[in-house]
Amino acid sequence: EVQLVESGGGLVQPGGSLRLSCAGSGFTISSNSMNWVRQAPGKGLEWVSFITSSSSTIYYADSVKGRFTISRDNARNSLYLQMNSLRAEDTAVYYCARDPVGPEDAFDIWGQGTMVTVSS
């Protein structure tokens, strides 16, 4: 079965750091661009970051630019999100999501999400 599995979420104090991981299963992520999307409790979806298959192009939402870093290790079939200087407003479920191979960039596979809570 093709799936993505996130891990690394938890409770962290404001100003702290956390590293999220997303592992591909049933397929190799090396061919795909990948994304992180988050959803604050009771709120809508917010795209966070994008990385191409070779890591040559990376984009961030303005809300996380300078604090979050997306990366990937294709040999480990994994995607990462390093989150620094965390704020209360970063509290959310974080999903990784796959861009399919080809010109279409809608997110066809999503992970189950990992919860990040920023609170003292």
Partner 1 sequence: DIQMTQSPSTLSASVGDRVTITCRASQSISSWLAWYQQKPGKAPKLLIYHASTLENGVPSRFSGSGSGTEFTLTISSLQPDDFATYYCQQYNAYSRTFGQGTKVEIK
Using rule CB under 8 A, residue 107 touches partner 1: yes
| Distance between start and end Cα atoms, the chain | 39
Q: Which of 95, 114, 116, 118 binds partner 1 (CB under 8 A)?
A: 95
- Type of residue found at 33: S
Q: Which of 2, 30, 88, 108 binds partner 1 (CB under 8 A)?
A: 108
Using rule CB under 8 A, residue 31 touches partner 1: no
Query: Toward partner 1, which CB reaches closer, 50 or 68?
Result: 50
Using rule CB under 8 A, residue 8 touches partner 1: no
- 6 phi, psi to nearest 5 deg: -90, 155
Using rule CB under 8 A, residue 68 touches partner 1: no
Using rule CB under 8 A, residue 27 touches partner 1: no
Burial class of residue 38, CB neighbours in 10 A (0-12, 13-18, 19+): buried
- Give the residue among 113, 74, 105, 87 at the shortest CA–CA distance from 12: 87
Q: Are 50 and 61 in contact (CB under 8 A)?
A: no
Q: Give me the residues that bind partner 1 (CB under 8 A), please.
A: 35, 44-47, 50, 59, 61-62, 95, 104-108, 110-113
